[in-house]
């Protein structure tokens, strides 16, 4: 999502259909430099054309290559189950929501998947979507109303817009992860889980303290579908202990 959240779409090494390695693959397509195209956009286009995850997503009718990151994490951690309530923060273009709807069976009304993003997405069967900034003051109450009860899993693939200043970009990343983590603590049912995209050095201090206080297990993961050269990784917190109610001193 531009302006606050979105699914990544970088390249990865060759994998077979199970998501496990089938060997590295060199770039095979080289584009002629077009007038007006920057060097960075040229490299991005070449990576897209040579990315096996992009090709696989098109072949399998997936919204984006990012779905394979969640597939790999879910295969290991067993986060998604039939009948769950799932919240997807930064859903565009919808790959994670698509997978959540399939596994929770929200398509048939058994589970429930609620998604939010600044950008619009094409409708997904079994997904209730709201085009809205997660950082908007009205977003928390709106999402709670859409969920209709405690969530079993909160997913966040949000990424802050960068300005090119490393310290500022780092603070924006941390702010998004902190906001997502605090909201997860508000809406999760006991035993629930929280999965969020971070970057190396992007979950520290207050964020980790919050997660370690409220969840039984907290760890970092880097799925194979994330580019090896990228600083992108994910923090997974499982075994939510439940909200700590404030006791009045009256």
Determine, yes or no, domain membership for 1: no
Q: What is the pLDDT of residue 153?
A: 98
pLDDT digit string (tens) for 83-137? Answer: 999 999 999 999 999 999 999 999 999 999 999 999 999 999 999 999 999 999 9
Query: Is position 8 annotated in a ligand binding site?
Result: no
- Cβ contact 87:155 at 8 Å: yes
Determine, yes or no, domain membership for 103: yes
**Six-digit token pair at 245?**
């109610």
Q: 12-26, 55-69, 78-92, 212-226 — which is least confidently predicted? A: 12-26
pLDDT averaged over every residue in the chain: 79
Determine, yes or no, domain membership for 165: yes
Count: domains in the chain: 1
CA 51 to CA 46: how far, in whole Å? 8
Secondary structure (3-state) at 57 = helix
Determine, yes or no, domain membership for 119: yes
- Cβ contact 107:126 at 8 Å: yes
Query: Is position 44 annotated in a ligand binding site?
Result: no
Burial (CB < 10 A; 0-12, 13-18, 19+), residue 243, is middle
Indicate whether 25 pLDDT > 60.
no
Determine, yes or no, domain membership for 5: no
Query: Active-site positions?
Result: 197
Query: Is position 88 annotated in a ligand binding site?
Result: no
CA 51 to CA 55: how far, in whole Å? 7
Q: Which CATH number do you get for residue 149?
A: 3.40.50.150
Range of the domain at 230: 67-240
Indicate whether 5 pLDDT > 60.
no
CA 11 to CA 65: how far, in whole Å? 8
Determine, yes or no, domain membership for 168: yes
Determine, yes or no, domain membership for 101: yes
Query: Is position 96 annotated in a ligand binding site?
Result: yes
Average pLDDT value for residue range 197-213: 80
Determine, yes or no, domain membership for 223: yes
**Six-digit token pair at 21?**
């390695």
Q: What is the side-by-side strand order in the sheet with 112-117?
A: 127-131, 112-117, 85-89, 151-156, 188-199, 232-240, 215-221
Q: What is the pLDDT of residue 185?
A: 97
- Cβ contact 2:226 at 8 Å: no
Largest CA distance in the chain: 73
């Amino acid at each position: 999502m531009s302006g606050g959240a979105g699914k990544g779409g970088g390249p990865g090494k060759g994998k077979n259909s199970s998501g496990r390695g089938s060997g590295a693959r060199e770039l095979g397509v080289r584009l002629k430099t077009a007038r007006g195209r920057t060097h960075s956009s040229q490299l991005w286009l070449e990576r897209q054309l040579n990315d096996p995850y992009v090709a696989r997503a098109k072949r399998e009718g997936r919204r984006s290559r990012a779905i394979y990151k969640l597939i790999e994490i879910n295969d290991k951690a067993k986060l998604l189950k039939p009948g769950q309530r799932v919240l997807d923060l930064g859903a565009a273009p919808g790959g994670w929501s698509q997978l959540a709807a399939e596994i929770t069976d929200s398509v048939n009304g058994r589970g429930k998947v609620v998604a939010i993003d600044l950008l619009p997405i094409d409708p997904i069967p079994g997904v209730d979507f709201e085009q809205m900034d997660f950082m908007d003051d009205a977003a928390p109450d709106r999402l709670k109303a859409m969920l209709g009860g405690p969530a079993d899993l909160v997913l966040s693939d949000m990424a802050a817009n960068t300005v090119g200043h490393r310290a500022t970009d780092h603070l924006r990343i941390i702010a998004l992860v902190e906001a997502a983590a605090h909201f997860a603590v508000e809406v999760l049912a006991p035993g629930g889980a929280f999965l969020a995209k971070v970057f190396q050095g992007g979950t520290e201090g207050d964020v980790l303290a919050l997660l370690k206080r409220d969840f039984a297990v907290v760890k970092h993961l880097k799925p194979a579908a994330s580019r090896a050269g990228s600083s992108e990784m994910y923090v997974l917190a499982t075994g939510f202990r439940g909200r700590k109610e404030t006791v009045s001193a009256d």
